[in-house]
Chain A
Amino acid sequence: MSILKARRFPFGSRIHGTKLSRYSPIETIPSPDFVCISMSQHIGAPAIPVVAEGDVVKKGQLIAKAAGPVSANIYASIPGTVEKISEITNGLGQKQTHIRIKNDFTGNEMLFDDLKDRSPSSVVERVALAGIVGLGGAGFPTAIKLSPKSPLDILIINGAECEPYLTCDDRLMLERTEDIYRGMKIIAEALGLTRIIIGIEKNKPLAIEAFAKYADIDVVPLRKQYPMGGEKQLIYCTTGRKVPVGKMPFDVGCCVQNVKTVLACYEAVVLNKPLTETVLTVSGHGVKEPKNLKVPLGTSFSSLIDYCGGKSDDTVKIVAGGPMMGKALVSLNQYTRKTDSGILVLTDKETNREKPSNCINCARCAQKCPMRLMPMMIESHFLCGDYSGAERYGAMNCVECGLCAHNCPAGRALVQSITAAKNKIREMKKNG
């Protein structure tokens, strides 16, 4: 295996971003005083609370159950008393039901019983029970992905972590290599697959080395290129298969899982732990000591930022997730969710807050688009209200990676317009 042979896909771009916390090991934070757990941490229907105010819960106790097939169970992440179940507006401006638990520091923990057998159906059942969703950011329930309708032949593990700043997957791959490896085997067995590929960007040489020692998985070094972690790009780079327009990875016989999801499956199946913790990166130049942290779900963002030395005075933006696809907060009233992979505290220098000017037709967006669309044409059609014109230029294929807006010299909100155009096209189709 040579690092020089790193695979790449056409188009896409390098992003000059700093991985500030690359060398800081994952720290477990001291148990917080309280947690506030959202009921909508995944795609699909919000979970339904099964505890009442005043109940005493243990860590790992079910507090909300899945509401339907596309939903996920939620477990208490600390032991304590349920203080409040109410609808609050979170930092993203969404109204969601939250369960607030006050810590009693007793350390009571509940685990699942040992699995009797590792048959595919019982593994999938356990993954569904543990409330595991796609932890890379999508939040799609993993159990559904593990019961595919068409036959698969390759399991692809996503270790690309192409977003700048974020380093939690990198650290996990270094520190918990063995556990991730076992998790892959469990998932592969559940799917009945023998071929496992892990794709890692070559700016993480230590992680590539760490996985190279296992003979029965293929480690594919990938070029440092954004958005390498996108499903379609990753499948193309690791297997050479192109996912056709409008199709899903399972149509080409692939199942893509994030490193964190794999680890969560391992913990649920072998260690009998439900999903109550997540590993995330607190980074950005606005925070004193960028760190990788292991935190209980529902920990408040402000306490995590304080744990990393607090924010500096020139902070202008706090982002949940990566800098390219993450969401900016409107208030600090935000609590960690399953899908969070980073908290970025950005200063004025790092963020761009210039006003947009006229498009100069430089076609940088079209040159960089990983889906080979023409963002400027979609945008101009959208702004004129010509939604069918936007569709003709392939608006529905956009993966919303944000490269077009990142590279636009005029600072135009290209990806935002395309996202809005997609909604309009969907609306238009619904109404006939």
Chain B
Amino acid sequence: MDNNAFLTYSPSPHIKSHITTRWIMIRVCIALLPACVMGVIYFGLNALLILALALFSAVASEFIYLLIAGKKIKEIAAQFDFTSCVTGLLVGLTIGTNYPWYAPILGSIFAIVVVKMLFGGTGKNLVNPAIAGRIFIFMSFQAVVGEWLLPSIGSVTGNSVTTSATILTELLNGTASQLSNWDLLLGTGMAGCIGETCKLALIAGGIYLAARKIINILYPVLYIGVTGLFSVCLGGFDFSLFLPSILSGGLILGAIFMATDYTTTPDTTLGNIIYFIMLGLITAGLRFATKMEVVSFAILLMNLLVPLFDKFIITRPFGYKKIKKEKNNG
């Protein structure tokens, strides 16, 4: 009958929550904004250029990949879900301003094309694309670039720091730190990459994500807490190590924005708790073993174990009772 043409047939449910992948990813981008702004304030317009290049090349490489794969530009735009924006921003935030201009471009292309798209696009990647991109840049350019740059704003406590090694390396090598914990929190007078210096901005973003129920605040807190406590243990129960070890390096950025990536975390609550505790132990352990910043390597390693978590830690249905095995006496 013609008068029924307006009817759409579909199985239930007929109403849907307003949360979509795009909605989530736009919120994650918003949560990254404070860190980007602080990065630009600390490191100048050069930082803005790096962030823009990383963001643009991430989005462009996704579009070009899909065009080569034979999709129409309208279709790609309609299905664009902002995940590559998050990846691009994270890649940009994890490199320093003294890197050559093509470093963020190469990093974003590697992250999007090799790590994400070749494995099947959003949600199919084995490891977090931003982590892989960061490691790719770190491996390729660290020897050339050498050391991290200091931000333009000096230490709030007035200590002038002449060394340009990151505070974490100093700590691990046993050099006495001249920075207070406030400096570490604000990232003032502390060398590092664009996004990792100002911890306060990252924490603000994390609180926003938790308030929006995009991430569960328990998991990053667990990761950071376990890393801090295990560092204290490894450092001979020196509790003054606790705050510096959690506030230095890329731990906060990694814990809030990278380790909580949906695709590369287990699906169950129990699985997640075990995952983040293991992540904390590995991070602290590797830091003391290698005297290097290893958050991204730890996350990469644990990402690869996620399929095992999902295979062996599964939920039990409501009303499930364990079937007791009868003991055989014979």
Contact (Cβ within 8 A) A409 B310: no
Q: Is B174 an interface residue (CB 8 A)?
A: no
Q: Is B121 an interface residue (CB 8 A)?
A: yes
Q: Is B320 an interface residue (CB 8 A)?
A: yes
Cα distance A326–B121 when bound, in Å?
34
Residue in A closest to B5 when the chains form the complex, CB atoms:
A331
Contact (Cβ within 8 A) A328 B318: no
Most buried by A among B17, B123, B267: B17
Contact (Cβ within 8 A) A362 B318: no
Contact (Cβ within 8 A) A346 B317: no
Residues of chain B within 8 A (CB-CB) of A366 are: 267-268, 315
Task: Mark contacts of A123-150 with chain B using CB atoms, 8 A cut-off: 1 yes-contact digit, 0 otherwise.
Answer: 0000000000000000000000000000
Task: Mark contacts of A358-380 with chain B using CB atoms, 8 A cut-off: 1 yes-contact digit, 0 otherwise.
Answer: 11111110110011111011000
| From B13, B262, B264, B310, contact of A405 by CB (8 A) | B13
Measured between C-beta atoms, what is the minimum distance from B128 to chain A in Å? 12
Measured between C-beta atoms, what is the minimum distance from A326 to chain B in Å? 6
Residues of chain A within 8 A (CB-CB) of B7 are: 316-318, 328-332
Contact (Cβ within 8 A) B11 A413: yes
Contact (Cβ within 8 A) B315 A317: no
| From A350, A353, A357, A372, contact of B318 by CB (8 A) | A372
Q: Is A305 an interface residue (CB 8 A)?
A: no
Q: Is A247 an interface residue (CB 8 A)?
A: yes
Most buried by A among B24, B268, B315: B315
Residues of chain B within 8 A (CB-CB) of A290 are: none
CB interface residues, B 174-204, toward A, < 8 Å: none
Q: In the complex where A372-B317, A406-B16 touch, is A357 in contact with B9 (Cβ < 8 A)?
A: no
Contact (Cβ within 8 A) B320 A245: yes
Residue in A closest to B19 when the chains form the complex, CB atoms:
A409
Contact (Cβ within 8 A) A370 B267: no
Q: In the complex where A374-B268, A377-B314 touch, is A415 in contact with B12 (Cβ < 8 A)?
A: yes
Contact (Cβ within 8 A) A377 B310: yes
Q: Is B120 an interface residue (CB 8 A)?
A: yes
| From A315, A331, A344, A363, contact of B14 by CB (8 A) | A344
Contact (Cβ within 8 A) B268 A409: no
Q: Is B263 an interface residue (CB 8 A)?
A: yes
Measured between C-beta atoms, what is the minimum distance from A147 to chain B in Å? 25
Q: Is A204 an interface residue (CB 8 A)?
A: no
Contact (Cβ within 8 A) A332 B321: no
Task: Mark contacts of A228-272 with chain B using CB atoms, 8 A cut-off: 1 yes-contact digit, 0 otherwise.
Answer: 000010001000001111010000000000000000000000000
Majority secondary structure of chain A interface residues (helix, strand, loop or mixed): loop
Q: Is A114 an interface residue (CB 8 A)?
A: no
Q: Is B61 an interface residue (CB 8 A)?
A: no
Q: In the complex where A245-B319, A370-B318 touch, is A360 in contact with B21 (Cβ < 8 A)?
A: yes
Residues of chain B within 8 A (CB-CB) of A321 are: 12
Q: In the complex where A407-B17, A411-B20 touch, is A394 in contact with B317 (Cβ < 8 A)?
A: yes
| From B14, B15, B263, B315, contact of A374 by CB (8 A) | B315
Q: Is B240 an interface residue (CB 8 A)?
A: no
| From A236, A352, A371, contact of B317 by CB (8 A) | A371
Residues of chain B within 8 A (CB-CB) of A350 are: 14-15
Residues of chain B within 8 A (CB-CB) of A354 are: 20
Measured between C-beta atoms, what is the minimum distance from A44 to chain B in Å? 22
CB interface residues, B 73-88, toward A, < 8 Å: 79, 81, 83
Cα distance A316–B7 when bound, in Å?
5
Q: Is B10 an interface residue (CB 8 A)?
A: yes
Q: Is B143 an interface residue (CB 8 A)?
A: no
Contact (Cβ within 8 A) A351 B15: yes
Q: In the complex where A318-B7, A406-B16, A415-B13 touch, is A373 in contact with B315 (Cβ < 8 A)?
A: yes
Residues of chain A within 8 A (CB-CB) of B264 are: 361
Measured between C-beta atoms, what is the minimum distance from B164 to chain A in Å? 39
Q: Is A274 an interface residue (CB 8 A)?
A: no
| From A164, A325, A407, contact of B19 by CB (8 A) | A407
What is B's interface to A at a CB cutoff of 8 Å?
A: 1, 3-4, 6-17, 19-21, 23-24, 79, 81, 83, 120-124, 262-265, 267-269, 310, 314-321
Q: A323-B13, A332-B3, A357-B122 are in contact. List 6 more A-B contacts (CB 8 A).
A: A317-B8, A325-B13, A357-B21, A372-B315, A409-B23, A410-B21
21 A-B residue pairs with CB within 8 Å: A315-B6, A316-B8, A317-B14, A318-B7, A323-B12, A324-B13, A327-B11, A332-B7, A352-B16, A353-B10, A354-B20, A357-B81, A360-B122, A361-B123, A361-B265, A366-B267, A377-B267, A392-B314, A394-B316, A402-B12, A406-B17
What is A's interface to B at a CB cutoff of 8 Å?
A: 15-17, 164, 232, 236, 242-245, 247, 315-319, 321, 323-333, 344, 346, 350-355, 357-364, 366-367, 370-374, 376-377, 392-394, 397, 402-403, 405-407, 409-411, 413, 415-416, 419
